[in-house]
Amino acid sequence: MDAAVGVSAQAPAPDRKPAILFVLAAASALAIIVGPLLNFPCDVCSGGLVSISLPWIGLAFYSVLAIVAFRAPNAPFLALISGFYLFVHASLITEMFLMPRFCLGCLAVAVFAAGAAFCRRGRNRQDDAAAGVAIALGIAAAFLSPFDRVDDFMTRKLWPVRMLEAAPSWVSRDELARCDHPAGARLVIYEKDCKS
């Protein structure tokens, strides 16, 4: 009788699925970083300063969350932070479709991160409304192109030469480099997302 009571009183085993999904999100971010070294560059993730740094931030962020989820799967911090990354990914993915500029690596990171959040939500139904609001606000924010604007702004301020390097492939590099005039400034205009 005592043995049966002892077995039923044991705490349920912690759910490791969120931790595994955080590891997969971090691995997807690492794949984005390593891709150019293996001749699989991503045009979206090799744009401005924020585009280039975001996979590194994602790798660090989801690695930390994976460690926390393995060591303390029921930590309140994991529930609190999920609203933040659900908002960010909802905005990034919606903006990706609106542009349209697709990155399978970014999509994979978002899917694994959302999977980790919803694994936790399956046990904490009271947080479902907060997750829904975070996703809805992220989608709404994407219509203002926040990522694209921040990327352009930060690149112009901190890495202006990158603006010339990021010109579309159909813009002649000889034309960008050549200038026969003595002026101190030169203006080259092209439509950023135009494919023709």
Report whether pLDDT(25) > 90.
yes
The percentage of the chain sitting over the pLDDT mark of 90, rounded to a whole number, equals: 28
Report whether pLDDT(184) > 70.
no
DSSP SS3 for 189: coil
- The C-alpha atoms of residue 166 and residue 162 are separated, in whole angstroms, by 6
Which has more pLDDT, 182 or 84?
84
Arithmetic mean of pLDDT over the chain = 80
CA 11 from centroid of its chain's CA atoms: 35
Report whether pLDDT(115) > 70.
yes
Q: How far apart, in Å, are the Cα atoms of 69 and each of 18, 24, 77?
A: 7, 13, 10
The domain ranges of the chain are: 15-34+41-159
Q: What is the pTM of this model?
A: 0.73
CA 81 from centroid of its chain's CA atoms: 14
Q: Is 96:47 a contact under the CB 8 Å cutoff?
A: no
Q: Summarize the confidence of residues 45-58 as an average pLDDT.
A: 82
Q: Is 112:157 a contact under the CB 8 Å cutoff?
A: no
Residue in the structure block whose two tokens are 């150019």: 36
